[in-house]
A = this chain, B = another copy of it.
Amino acid sequence: MTPTQQRVEIAQILFARPQHLSAEQVLSLVNAEHTAASKATVYNTLNLFAQKGLVREVIVDPSKVFYDSTTHEHHHFFNIDTCELTDVPVGLMPVGELPAVPPGTEAVAVDVIIRIRNTERS
């Protein structure tokens, strides 16, 4: 895994601060900078990072993957109106120990997504 120009760029954007970025946003940000990387490279790199555990994939919608630079255990609010993703500190909602996973398997990750919506005042 060579630290190439493109990867460094992407990493800097991701880890500038804890945040949730969609692939689309990362792409824009990378291209807003100087070097620019192709769409494919951004996707491949993000997938690579996700595999390596550098970022966490948060899947809220088909074709709407967010990449979370915070890898600590935590959950998410997802506002389906604004497509905004918000962290939920672990403390607020502890995850009970996992129930027995099916035989021959091991837990890899636990994703908790609370879908929220703007309160409609009709």
Contacts and interface: CB of A to CB of B under 8 A. Distances in A.
A48 interface: no
A98 B86 CA distance: 14
A86 B109 CA distance: 15
Contacts of A3: none
A40 interface: no
Nearest to A100: B92
Contacts of A111: 111-115
Contacts of A62: 59, 62-65
Interface in A105-122: 105-119
Interface of A: 59-65, 77, 79-80, 86, 88-89, 92-96, 98-99, 101-102, 104-119
